[in-house]
Structure 1
Amino acid sequence: MERTANTGAQGQTGFPLRLDMREISKRFGAVTVLDGISMTCRAGEVLAICGENGAGKSTLMKVLAGFYRPDGGDIRIDGRPVHFKRPLDSQREGVAIIHQELSLLPHRTVAQNIFLGREPTRFGIVDHKQMRGAAARVLARLQSTIDPDVHAGTLPIADQQIVEIAKALTLNASILVFDEPTAALDTAEAAKLFQLIEELRREGTAILYISHRMAEVFALADRICVIKDGRLVGDLSRGETDSDAIVRLMVGREIGTLFPPRSDRAFGDEIFTVAGGRNRYLHDITLTLKAGEIVGVAGLEGSGKTALARAIVGDEPFDAGTVRYWDGKGAVSSPREGTRRKIAYVPDDRKTEGLGLRQSLRENAALTRRALSPALSLASNGGCAAPALDALLRQLDVRAANHAMPVGSLSGGNQQKVVVARWLAVNPRLWVLCEPTRGVDVGARSTIYSILRVFADAGGSVLVVSSDLAEVIGLSDRIVVMSEGRIAAESPAGASEEDIMKHAVLSHRSVPGRSRETA
């Protein structure tokens, strides 16, 4: 294992050791998930934790947060040994974790979610005024304008992530864990989060930062720990390594070029076209998607980028304008109709829209095929047979003890790969994906990008909505920029981040109010 001396925050010595995890082990049945991991973090230090999906990162953090008890090893905070039987014990010791998978109660307000189980009281009764005021203050610290009184379930995914961060901040933790915190955030929101992290660092908070995004890791971290197959394989200071070395430690091999090369062939027939398309979120949308083409969609949160995807697949259909698909038919009225018409859709919220969390990996991988072909609904028949589904899941390198286990027990990145597998099981003509690699490690990203390019080269059409500008630029043949429910610009392949952001922040004063994304 590669290891360097722990020099503390920003390469300086003398910062007190806040967290010391020693030889942590954890097993689930016969599977060893953590195998003797030792890790430290000092006050005012940002420690990045990297690894493939299923490597053990989130499990280690759940041990620290009191969700799991370790089978071996011990934890010390500020030099004192601690033992956690439940998450409340960890919180009392100053540990807070912001999970990648959202855990808000949708029918409670933002303020109620932020202070869930810790509601301020007056004379034994919940003090709603004090709770709303405290929620507003912590949201303001995050430079957010979210209303503390709205129900959390009505918020877009990005805003729900902000609420999760706000909840953790109210704990006044001395050790703060961020698990893929920018996965749902656009560039502007991520920049605000980075400012907050710098503020917390200056205040002496020990920060553990889990991310697959190497640019974030090298912008924020003082040290980088790499976990592979439940073992610590690297503990390096930021200045002594680079992203290629970290990726090699994560996957055990060279990835090469992350994005597959674009085809030199001319694009084919029109797969989808809309002229003057409108609905309650979109205005005057004119767009054409062609066979063989990958079109990326960028924009700030609330720009309408997700609403555009939902309109194309029939979730929030166009209710005005001229719409035509390759089959000669007009607008799709529902996702079910879209599925029948061979339109694949990967939503941005895999937990509530993309998966049956209690169903097995195989059952989830077969969902779309069964919907299209009732005659193949039996698990023993054709493409829904277990061997065919297992081969599909192996193709995407889904990490699981077995394919009969519930998909809800997988890491977020592995869950995303199962969603992609659902559509690989059929032969769509148009593939619409929202945040396709959210929470997905670099090796799996490369696999997904290659699948999409092969699909396009075979005559399919792909629309990718992403808040990751590097992804949009690296993958797309053409880039559409959304702003306030309109297409603000179209750019060719290879457009710069500066050019995209210039159009993304445009304001259309003729549009009354600001369009919102659907949740």
Structure 2
Amino acid sequence: MSVLLEMKDIQKSFYGNPVLHAVDFSLEAGSVHALMGENGAGKSTLMNILIGIHKRDGGTISIDGQEVEIDSPAVAQKMGIAMIHQELSTVVEMSVAENIYLGREPVKHGLIDYKQMYQQTEELLQMLHIHLNPRTKMGRLRVADQQLVEIAKAVSQNARILIMDEPTSSITDREVENLYNIIRDLKKSGTGIVYISHKMDEVYTITDKITILRDGESIATWNTQEATHDMVVKAMVGRELTEQYPKRESKIGEPILELKHLTREGEFEDISLTLHRGEILGLVGLVGAGRTETVQALFGVTKIESGEVFLNGKKVEIKKPIDAIKNGIAYVTEDRKGEGLVLPMSIAHNTTLPSMQELSNKVFIKSLEEKTKTEKILSELKVKMASSKLAVKNLSGGNQQKVVLAKWMMKDPDVIIFDEPTRGIDVGAKAEIYKLMNEFVAKGKAIIMISSEMPEAMGMSDRILVISNHKLSGEFNRDEFSQDSIMTMAMRYM
């Protein structure tokens, strides 16, 4: 296969902080090349240079052997480079079709030809086996469906070089297999694909080569079939990880939270559960089953139409998130950019946002106390940053997720709801978050964890409840865990 792309000696710094040190990366036509590394290793920065978002400080980029300058995303697009971003960049008030062809709308007599645009979108979605209405507003779609639209948008550009940054982070197993088929078709047409993922099974299934970045440096490149799991992990983190899911001795205490017959029409029906102190309770189900909708209602994001909530045996009314927070419940959302962070705000202010009452004298913020507590929790979570004064939008996706965790850990709640807590996070950071979760419940507190990764749900949970088509369909204690049995319950009411 011919070399389609070659990036040599790429260097980049932000605010005097070097993030890429002479990185080399190449991509062959008709191949899939995995780019792996811990959060903050430099993967997104390297790809943002390739698509013209950032300007490199040094090094060269060549396409088909010719050195090129990529000054903007528009230039990258003209050169046949497209990217599916991990963090969705959809326009929620526009339709699916308008998002796919934004800036490339078909025109007739000087006006946008909506009829043609909707027809082209319908044909594209059918080709990709994506079952969505082109006229539906993006804001009405699930995160998983928005991800599929982003994939369709990239494919519609007929790119020669396609960058996929965590493309399966929000989609179901069935949709993942469909994505693999799309990738195989693109390979046959000669498209070169850069595949950024922390999911080892995906990398071994769909890629031809693997390149590892660590701390802004190129560490190794292998043919995928030659790289063992241990080789990849050690190259990524610079050490061996002995346990994927750290062991702990579960000391399950008395009930801390009880839900009785919670219902919200069309989203969840007759949900009853009991959460105990010292327990991690896994909530498992297919995308759209009603898991996120249930915990959002518990946190006061949406209204509980019927049913009761009890904390420490006392009935409580939760109508708004502030009610949940006052009752010691925290919620780590799956959509960190849209719901978990204020992107233009500093890392420090995002971290202390729920704790402002405790960190102020009702007139002024206690700046020294804020700084001390912020630096302590961010250090414990190993957030990679030049300064906590920087806007949180400048962090990598994984480090942004750590800031979301940090703000709730600082609040010291009794119950934390984790919705896809390690989505888009590397293996080293996952181990750190699992350790923090274990330490949290060891204090006699409790966790509800939604995870679409079955090994994670089984590895971290003391007990698993399964939701199928908005209803509870099964319950498993740790000694009863079986992927087949859990998936059978997930399909029970479909």
2:11 equivalent to 1:22: no
Distance 1:344 1:377 in 2: 25
**Considering only aligned residues, what root-mean-square deviation do their CA atoms show, in Å?**
1.7
Correspondence for 2:93 among 104, 107, 110: 107
Local SS of the residue matching 2:246: coil
Conserved in 1, the CA contact under 8 Å of 2:250 and 2:278? Answer: no
Distance 1:56 1:134 in 2: 36
Conserved in 2, the CA contact under 8 Å of 1:187 and 1:468? Answer: no
Local SS of the residue matching 1:300: coil
Correspondence for 1:308 among 294, 319, 323: 294
Report the AA paired with residue 117 of structure 2. Answer: M
Conserved in 2, the CA contact under 8 Å of 1:276 and 1:284? Answer: yes
1:312 CA displacement = 1.8
* Residues 439/269 of structure 1: CA separation in 2 closer, same or farther (3 Å cut): same
Report the AA paired with residue 418 of structure 1. Answer: V
Range moving further from structure 2, 50-59 or 134-143:
134-143
Distance 1:161 1:61 in 2: 19
Range moving further from structure 2, 412-421 or 124-133:
124-133
Aligned to 1:404: 389
Local SS of the residue matching 1:329: strand
1:31 CA displacement = 1.6
1:373 CA displacement = 6.3
Distance 1:322 1:404 in 2: 42
* Residues 478/372 of structure 1: CA separation in 2 closer, same or farther (3 Å cut): farther
Distance 2:392 2:279 in 1: 32
Cα shift readout 1:45-70 (whole Å, capped 9, x = no counterpart) = 11101111111100100111111121
Q: Please list, as runs of the form range in 1=range in 2, the aligned pairs for 1:475-490 lying within 5 A after superposition.
A: 475-490=460-475
Q: Please list, as runs of the form range in 1=range in 2, the aligned pairs for 1:14-413 lying within 5 A after superposition.
A: 15-265=1-251, 267-280=252-265, 281-326=267-312, 328-371=314-357, 375=361, 378-380=364-366, 384-413=369-398
Distance 2:263 2:24 in 1: 55
TM-score (norm 2): 0.96
Conserved in 2, the CA contact under 8 Å of 1:314 and 1:331? Answer: no
Local SS of the residue matching 1:425: helix
Conserved in 1, the CA contact under 8 Å of 2:250 and 2:279? Answer: no
Distance 1:378 1:451 in 2: 31
Report the AA paired with residue 19 of structure 1. Answer: L
Cα shift readout 1:364-420 (whole Å, capped 9, x = no counterpart) = 1111122566548854367x4212211110111111111110001111111000000
Cα shift readout 1:85-128 (whole Å, capped 9, x = no counterpart) = 11111111111100111111111111101000000111221110
Cα shift readout 1:174-196 (whole Å, capped 9, x = no counterpart) = 11100011112232222221222
Conserved in 1, the CA contact under 8 Å of 2:356 and 2:365? Answer: no
Conserved in 2, the CA contact under 8 Å of 1:20 and 1:76? Answer: yes
Local SS of the residue matching 2:315: coil
Aligned to 1:446: 431
Distance 1:412 1:141 in 2: 31
Local SS of the residue matching 1:216: helix
Distance 1:154 1:411 in 2: 27
Aligned to 2:419: 434
Aligned residues: 492
1:20 CA displacement = 1.3
Conserved in 2, the CA contact under 8 Å of 1:262 and 1:477? Answer: no
Local SS of the residue matching 1:345: strand
Conserved in 2, the CA contact under 8 Å of 1:370 and 1:377? Answer: no
Range moving further from structure 2, 110-119 or 84-93:
84-93
2:493 equivalent to 1:507: yes
Local SS of the residue matching 2:240: coil
Aligned to 1:7: none
Distance 1:93 1:499 in 2: 49
Local SS of the residue matching 2:221: strand
Aligned to 2:459: 474
Conserved in 1, the CA contact under 8 Å of 2:162 and 2:194? Answer: yes
TM-score (norm 1): 0.91
Report the AA paired with residue 260 of structure 2. Answer: A
Distance 2:261 2:333 in 1: 24
1:356 CA displacement = 1.2
Cα shift readout 1:443-476 (whole Å, capped 9, x = no counterpart) = 1111111111111121111001122222111111
Cα shift readout 1:18-50 (whole Å, capped 9, x = no counterpart) = 111111111223222211111111112111011
Local SS of the residue matching 1:455: helix
Conserved in 1, the CA contact under 8 Å of 2:345 and 2:392? Answer: yes
Aligned to 1:512: none
Structure 2 residue runs of 5 or longer lacking an equivalent are: none
1:501 CA displacement = 2.1
Aligned to 1:11: none
Report the AA paired with residue 87 of structure 2. Answer: E
Range moving further from structure 2, 27-36 or 353-362:
27-36
Distance 1:108 1:249 in 2: 43
Local SS of the residue matching 1:284: strand
Distance 2:120 2:150 in 1: 15
